[in-house]
Amino acid sequence: MKNFKKCAVYIAAVIMLFCGFSCQFFSSDKKAAEPGEILSEGTIIYSISYPGESSSPGKSFLYPSNMTLFFSGENIRTSFKGGMNLYGLDFLHSAECDSFFTLLNVLDRKFFVPSERSEAIFLFGSDDNVTIEYDDSDAMRNIGGYESRKAYIYHDNNDAFMSVWFTDEVGVEKPFPNTPFSNIPGIITEFTLNYENVNFHVKAKRVIRESHSDELFVVPPPGYSRTTLEEIEELIASLMR
């Protein structure tokens, strides 16, 4: 645990001097998807903004700056990149495995944690006792080139809810397993989540038609060391505070 905390402090100390690391994924046939094009394999790039948060770099420079969803059949990889690419947090679902994996790549250290398919991804919150209601109006929004409709997600049958926009035009039925969105029939194109009292506003910017190497979905990835989910959560939480 101490090593993780030191790592977080180290990131903050060298932010202006380090360019960080980059993760390279091999793909081919890369092309922007046509509006409304149905895909079985590709990439969705999301922007992340922080409503109500200070724009001062001293407060939010370590927050994730974007989210990328890679999909190929039943293989799903959701990737968050920290400020200046100093760290990466990925959630990997492989069709070849009964577990999903949480991956953390921070500076020169790489960690993974396997979780049961029944568990929730910590960043998105619990998917237990979730009720979904669909907006029955004709209101639609074009987000990332796809016509999207609205849904409301309620937790534990109470008045607290979150609204999301989604589309069933991309061709991926359930791209957000182990999240409150897991039963929405399509790609989530816009949503807000709250983690460590910080609101993430996530919105699809563009959809890319491309093929992915099998290496992108290998579990666990080569060079990663096993750790505990508590340690990964502690480091991410310390970066958000």
Q: Is residue 19 part of a domain?
A: no
pLDDT for 117 equals 80
Nearest to 109 by CA among 240, 26, 20: 20
Structural domain contains residue 201? yes
Confidence at residue 24, expressed as pLDDT on a 0 to 100 scale: 40
Task: Report the CATH number at residue 163.
Answer: 2.50.20.10
Helix/strand/coil for 84: helix
**Phi, psi (rounded to 5 degrees) for 163:** -105, 145
Residue pair 76/239 in contact by the 8 Å Cβ criterion? no
With beta carbons less than 8 A apart as the criterion, state whether 240 and 124 touch: no
Burial class (CB in 10 A: 0-12, 13-18, 19+), 205: middle
Angle at 40 between CA 38 and CA 45, to 5 degrees: 80
Q: How far is 184 from 130, CA to CA, in rounded Å?
A: 11
CA dist 103 and 113 (Å) reads 7
| 163 located within any domain | yes
Residue 191's domain spans which residues? 2-11+40-240
Please name the residues in contact with 142: beta carbons below 8 A apart, sequence gap of 6 or more: 35, 148
Here the tokens at position 77 are: 């990889």
pLDDT computed for residue 158 by the predictor = 64
CA distance 75 to 93: 6
| pLDDT for the residue numbered 213 | 94
Q: Does any domain span residue 35?
A: no
pLDDT at position 77: 96
- Tally of domains within the chain: 1
In a domain, 27, yes or no: no
Does a structural domain hold residue 75?
Answer: yes
Residue 160 within a domain:
yes
Asked whether residue 31 is domain-assigned, the answer is no
Q: What is the pLDDT along the chain (241 residues), one digit of tens a residue?
A: 555 555 554 444 443 333 333 334 434 457 777 766 778 899 999 999 988 765 555 556 778 889 999 999 889 999 998 877 788 999 999 988 888 999 999 888 899 999 988 899 998 877 778 889 999 888 899 999 899 999 999 877 666 678 999 998 888 878 899 999 888 989 999 999 888 888 899 999 999 999 999 999 998 889 999 999 999 999 888 877 7
Cα angle 87-94-170, degrees, rounded to a multiple of 5: 90
